Structure formats: structure tokens, C-alpha cells
Structure 1
Amino acid sequence: MPLADRIRPSTLDEVVGQRHILAQGKPLYNIISRGKIPNMIFYGPSGVGKTTVANIIAQKTSMSLYRLNGTQASTSDIKDVVANLGTFGAAGGILLFLDEIQYLNKKQQQTLLEYIESGEITLIASTTENPYFYVYSAVLSRCTVFEFKQVTAEDILPAVERAFRLMGEEMHTQFTLEEGVVSHIAYGCGGDVRKAANTVELCCLSSEDDTVTMETAKLLTQKSSMNYDRDGDHHYDILSGLQKSIRGSDENAALHYAARLLAAGDITSLCRRLLVIASEDIGLAYPMAVPIVKACVDSALQLGLPEARIPLGEAVVLLATSPKSNSAYLGINAAMQDVEDGKTGDIPRQLQNKHYDGEGNAVKGQHYLYPHDYPDHYVKQQYLPDAIKDRVYYTFGDNKFEQQSKVYWDKIKGKK
């Protein structure tokens, strides 16, 4: 059994972090203390105590505990659990702990629905993905969702110290820890208590003369500081943090989130998001941001890591410190919405790509006015279809560049 399981807390007071739901007087603490357990879904990143709390709940009830993992469970496995209902072994009811419920398909989740609703099975499910996207709505509506947050390094420190003590007891020795080892492991494991405990175990097993050096700790915690999954919620949270920091003109926060993506080796996601931001959030306030960011992205992709961080850092700072405008973004969104809503209409005759008229046309001739034949290369004519001829999608932003354009076009169009 891994050390992370051997030091798993047996009481709520020993659980690391999650004080927002597990401190005395908080909702989940009160529910568990009263012993009447509802259907629940525990949502949060790996290694933050979801399974530990489920185990503690199981110890406090008279129900029979069954465990399934969504990555391996089949419909027949679920039916085997259901088959125990009414038997002597399930006289107190069944508590089903379903880990990684997001991997069960809709039919498998529906198999449980009848028994959850009747109260014959009490479900405690855990997931690292947003349950509102991955759990069948009928199951979700019968459960209470509790979010488990990433544990801070300060919270992990006591767990790391306890892990070293237990390893010393089991190996009949007292480990000598170089200064900084405990804090390095706690801070380096990205809020994952399980990962921290496993790192402690590896440090002890690989130590010489019962001394754990900083060199060993750094080697065994390398890359573990990234709680990262390219297809998971945390991945999109980092990208969201990056874009919102740039949009909010906080270059320091933007560099932080970019660094987290780079530390995970995810150049592609960072490059794609920077290209989007250049047009969506900086836009016409500084149009040159687009080609500059494109040049930085091309350089980064050609260089690869670690040098790629340099042009990408330049792009992040440029975007964060540039003036902002989403006028073009709002304009294309409004136009797309009209198209999706069917607000289109026929293209005006003068714009059509044909130079003849059918017999049914009352007005013959295309009558297109060629703007280059007129002063200032502009002439007023209708371009939108009749049904939406007065629609306005774009409004000039209040930045220097767009206001200069507005002055120019007000002058030109005001002449006509």
C-alpha cells in the first residue's frame, strides 16, 4: 500500500485543507457528524481529500460500502451492486463510492438512477471534471455537489512531516532532513497531498545514510509542481486566468499563468490563446498587435523550449500593456447572431455577381456605384439586405486608433 494510503486521515479533523466545507459548523462537517448521508458529488483536483472524506463517511454509517471506479466499471458491475439490495449483507442500505463518475456513460449512470431516487443506494461520487458538464442531469439533480479546492502548501507541510515520521517508524530509523526539504516538497507538489506523500516515500527509499538531501528532494519533485491536465478543467482555468489577466492589463499575473503553461510544456495552447487575445481583446486599439504576436508565436514554435519562453513572454507583456478594444469582436458576434437567427435577406441587386436581369425584374440594370470613381473613394449606397438595411454591428471604440478612424469617416461620410 502506498504511503499516501497508509497515512490517510481517519477523522475529519485530520483532513488537510477543505476548511470551507469541513471545519466545525460547516455544511459537510455537520452532515457527516449527524450520520444521515445524502447523495453527494465531490468535485475537485486529484489528491485533495475526496476519497479520504468518503472513507470517513463510510466508517460513520451502518451501510455496506461498495466501491467502483468509473475508468473500469461496466454496466454489469453496477448491476452486481444493485443485486445486493435486500440481502443480509446490505441490511443497513448500500453506500456506493463511485470514483471518477465522469467516465461512466449516460446509460450506466441511468442504471443507478432508480435506486438513488428510492434511497436504496446512497451515492457518493467523485470527479476531477466539472459535474455540471459530465454528470447526467437526472443524477446531478438528486445529488449535492461539494467542491474540494486545491490544498495550499502551508496545509500540506504537517502532512509531509507526518509522512517522514511514519517512514522512519516503518524503516526503524530516524531520517535526517536537510534544511528546506519539507517545504520544497510541500510547495513543489502543487496542492496534491497524495503526490507529496509519494515523494516523501521515494525520498526515504532512495536516501543514503538515512539523510534526505535537497538534491534528492528536487530531483524527485521535478515537474510535479504542475497540477495540469491538457483536457481537464485545470487546463482551461489556467488559460482563462491568462486571458482575463491580459484583458485586465495585469502583466505580472499574465506572465505567471503563461509560465504555468510553459512549465507543463504546453506551447501550443499558449500560442493559440495569445493569437486569439490579440484580436479579441486588443483588436483595433492596436492592430499591429496581431502581426507582432504572430511573429512571436512563429519564433517560439521554431525555437522550442526553453528558448520559446522569450518571444512568448514578449507577446504576453505586449498584449497586457497594450490599449484594449473588443469592438470588432462584438461586431462579428452580433453579425453572426443575426445570421444564426435567419435575419439575412437577399443580397442587394447592385452587389450581386451578375450583370443581366430576368424578365421578371421590374428595374433593369445592376446600378452599382464604383467607390473609386468618386472623391475620397466613397459613395453612399445600400450594402445590407433590405430586411436589415439599418442594422449596426460595429461601434467605434474609445481608443486613439479607432477614434482617429471615426473622425476620418465622419468627415468623409458627412460630405455626402
Structure 2
Amino acid sequence: MRPETLDGYVGQEHILGPGKPLRVQIEKDRLTSIILWGPPGVGKTTLASLVARQTKCAFIPFSAVLSGIKEIKGVMVEAERNRRQGLRTVLFVDEIHRFNKAQQDAFLPYVERGDIILIGATTENPSFEVISALLSRSKVYALRALTLEELVLLLRRALPVVGIEAEDDLLEQIGAYAGGDARTAYNILEIAAAASESGKLERQAVEDAVERKMLLYDKGGEEHFNLVSALHKSVRSSDPDAALYWLARMLEAGEDRMYLARRLVRMAVEDVGLADPRAAEQAIACMQTVHFLGVPEGDQALAQAAVYLAVAPKSDAGYRALNAAREFVRNNAAFPVPMHLRNAPTRAMKEWGYSKGYEHAHANAAGLTGMDCLPDGMEGIKFYEPSARGTEARIKDRLEEIRKWVAEQRSSEPDASKP
């Protein structure tokens, strides 16, 4: 099913459409080393072979899963021989992210000398998985998952090959199951065609071929973090429907439920905060429920917590306050604890002035004191400034009341520095 020309290639119009960068490079035969980054089954290998054919280069496919430095050197001997004969070599390295640093380093001299044009394919973010020296000598092209329309087009082309007829709605069903992956779509079509005895693709055969929708998800890879990020930002943006969608994606892919519960607890304290103090309680209750019930019953608790957090009033004032305090601590000297805030468990410490001047808040009818609890040199510094949302609006009013009372108390106290 691989196309013979670029015109037969389906998808990736953003880089292969007329006038687009990679298309221009190929058509003008000015190809340099490139990294093709995209999800499985979107045509990375096919594109690499078309590039080699279109530019009249020798094409050497190479698997990072099956090969090491010894195999790399053997391939480079062939590439160097091609160069001496005036023939350029495209070395296609599938799953280049599986090579360690030493193995990737082995390509560098051959790339720099021009023995090879390196085309690496990876499903992982090359910024993290490909060494900087190779990245700086390569152009990274991001390939996207195929659309439903593109998958249906590919499936329709495949029907004569598998010897079957099919209605468009069944092809669309297969495309939806495939989730942007042409290889998966072809596999489903082949299995369903083999099970259809009438010469036409049968609905039951398609449904039997797909017991479960195949979701792009790697719990240790970038897509895992992309989905977590989408869930977190949907909750932060108060969009419960989006939050439920991303949560469902992760649940269907088999994500660790306790990991999801921990993330919801983090959202409660980071993004809801004191605008709704019960959010943290709900998140902790969710975590305990998930642990107690397990799968699948505990999944409903995750959904409930996600919705609660999404619709709760939001404030990151506490989060920003802690960051500001930590930043201040990092950039300033460690001020000594004021004497009046120090305990004095021994007579000597009392004689030295420990705890002298301490005011006990409960001894005052207002339950407040005018005492300054920050070190000398930090007078007037404020880290926490509550928002006017949810419960934090009441906290804001209370804090303003406290600060006003304290200011009045301090202004009415005699100035000990004056005679």
C-alpha cells in the first residue's frame, strides 16, 4: 500500500503541500538531514523512502531496536563507498530515540562529512530524546495524526488489494477506531475482510476486529504528559466537559488511578486553593475512594472530583504566595528570628532576652496582637494577597480587617525611640 510518488502520499499537507518547506527541499533536491517526529502509523517510513526515490539517493533502512554501534559502522562503510562513486545515501533510522548518546554520537562524523543524509523517525519529542549535536545539524518536521477523511481515503485505496467492497460508513468506523494510525486501520481492515464471507465488508466483522478502541498513549512517553497537561488546564479553565474528556482518555488507556488522584489533589491546592477550601477535602476523599473501591467503581470518584474542581472558584494566590516567599528566601540573607518569637525554656535564655516582648494573642479580647512576626528589615512585606473569588473573598475582607487593626494598634503605641 505504500505510494510510489509524493502525489500519492496522503496527509502532512502542512509540510508537503505545494510550496511547503519539505516539499521544496525534495523537489529542488536540496535535502539535508531531517528528523520526522510524529505518532505511529502516520507515514514516517513511507515518507523517508519517497524522499530517497525522489532525490535519486541510495536508501538504507536501519532499526534502532535491532542495531548497535557495530551495525552502524558497517552501514557507514557502504555509505562511504557510495559517496566515492558519486551516489548520495539516505540513512533512515527508525525509532532513533531508542539509540543512546554514544550510538547517536557515532552518526555525527558521517553526517558532517556528507557521507549520509540522515532521516530519523521518532514518536518521542526529539528535544528530549535526540542529542543536541544531531538536532543542530537536522531539521525537525512534526507529523500529525491522520484525519478521519485521510484514513478513509487510504482504506478505500486498499479495498482492491484485500479483494473486498465496503460501505463508507464502515470505513469511517474503522478510521475512528484507528485513531489517526494508518497501520492500525489497515490491520483492522485486513482482519475484518478475512472474516467477511459475502465479498462485502460486514459490520459484525468490523466490530469483532476491534474489541477496544486503540488510543495513542504511552505512560512513560510524551503523550502521557500531554494528556495530563490537558486535564489540568481544562480544570483550571473551569471546563468540566473537557476535563471529563481528557480524564476518560486516560482511564480508557489504562492510566494508574492513584496517579490521577494525586494529580487532582495537586489541582485542588494549586488552582482552587482557598477560593474553595473544601476542594482539597474532596480531592483527598476521591483518593481514598479510588484506593478503597479500585477499578472500575473508583473511576466515578475521579470523574466527580474532576467536575467539582472544574466548577469550583479558582485562586492561585496561595501558590503564588509560597513561590514569592521562596524567591525572597533564596535572594536574601537569612534574617535571625526576632527575640520575642524565640522560646525560652531555660533561665539563662530568659536572661538573654529570649521571648521578651512576646504578646499572646489569646490574652487580647480581639484575639490579635500588634506584634510584628517578621524579622527586622522585612517590615511591610506581603506575600499573600487573596483574590476576590469564592471563600477567598471573605478571607480578603478578614485579612484587611486584621491589617487595619494591627496598624491602628502600632500607631497608638508610644515610640520607644523618642525620649
Using the size of structure 2 for normalisation, the TM-score is 0.88
> What residue number does 1:67 align with?
61
Going from structure 1 to structure 2, the CA distance change for 1:149 and 1:86 (only over 3 Å counts) comes to: closer
> What residue number does 2:417 align with?
none
Equivalent-residue separation in structure 2 for 1:306 and 1:383 (angstroms): 50
- Per-residue deviation, residues 205-258 of structure 1 (Å, max 9, x unmatched): 233344432222123223333111111221211111111111111222111111
Equivalent-residue separation in structure 2 for 1:353 and 1:90 (angstroms): 83
> What residue number does 2:260 align with?
270
Q: Which residue identity is paired with 1:22?
A: L
Secondary structure, counterpart of 1:97 in structure 2: strand
382, 400, 404: which one aligns with 1:410: 400
> What residue number does 2:114 align with?
119
> What residue number does 2:246 align with?
257
149, 152, 157: which one aligns with 1:162: 157
Within 5 Å, which residues of 2 pair with 1:354-393? 355-356=345-346, 364-367=353-356, 368-386=358-376, 388=378, 390-393=380-383
Bigger mean CA deviation after superposition, 333-342 or 322-331? 333-342
| Equivalent pair of 2:83/2:89 in contact (CA under 8 Å) | no
Q: Which residue identity is paired with 2:277?
A: P
Equivalent-residue separation in structure 2 for 1:374 and 1:132 (angstroms): 60
1:397 aligns with 2:387: yes
1:35 aligns with 2:29: yes
Secondary structure, counterpart of 1:376 in structure 2: coil
Going from structure 1 to structure 2, the CA distance change for 1:311 and 1:81 (only over 3 Å counts) comes to: same
**Structure 2, unpaired ranges of 5+:** 410-419
Within 5 Å, which residues of 2 pair with 1:138-149? 138-149=133-144
Equivalent-residue separation in structure 2 for 1:32 and 1:371 (angstroms): 77
Going from structure 1 to structure 2, the CA distance change for 1:287 and 1:138 (only over 3 Å counts) comes to: same
Bigger mean CA deviation after superposition, 194-203 or 375-384? 375-384
Equivalent-residue separation in structure 2 for 1:310 and 1:251 (angstroms): 14
Within 5 Å, which residues of 2 pair with 1:229-378? 229-266=218-255, 267-341=257-331, 343-352=333-342, 355-356=345-346, 364-367=353-356, 368-378=358-368
Equivalent-residue separation in structure 2 for 1:96 and 1:358 (angstroms): 79
> What residue number does 2:177 align with?
188
Q: Which residue identity is paired with 1:280?
A: E
Within 5 Å, which residues of 2 pair with 1:11-22? 11-22=5-16
Equivalent-residue separation in structure 2 for 1:163 and 1:335 (angstroms): 62
43, 50, 55: which one aligns with 1:56: 50
Between Structure 1 and Structure 2, how many residues are aligned?
Answer: 403
Equivalent-residue separation in structure 2 for 1:137 and 1:358 (angstroms): 62
| Equivalent pair of 1:265/1:305 in contact (CA under 8 Å) | no
1:389: Cα distance to partner?
5.4
| Equivalent pair of 2:338/2:376 in contact (CA under 8 Å) | yes
Q: RMSD value over aligned CA atoms?
A: 2.5
Q: Which residue identity is paired with 1:106?
A: K
Equivalent-residue separation in structure 2 for 1:19 and 1:179 (angstroms): 23
Secondary structure, counterpart of 1:84 in structure 2: helix
Equivalent-residue separation in structure 2 for 1:404 and 1:239 (angstroms): 32
- Structure with bigger gyration radius: 2
Going from structure 1 to structure 2, the CA distance change for 1:299 and 1:88 (only over 3 Å counts) comes to: closer
Within 5 Å, which residues of 2 pair with 1:218-233? 218-233=207-222
Going from structure 1 to structure 2, the CA distance change for 1:219 and 1:275 (only over 3 Å counts) comes to: farther
Going from structure 1 to structure 2, the CA distance change for 1:350 and 1:206 (only over 3 Å counts) comes to: farther
Equivalent-residue separation in structure 1 for 2:244 and 2:180 (angstroms): 21
Structure 1 residue runs of 4+, over 6 Å off?
none
**Structure 1, unpaired ranges of 5+:** 1-6, 169-174
| Equivalent pair of 1:282/1:323 in contact (CA under 8 Å) | yes
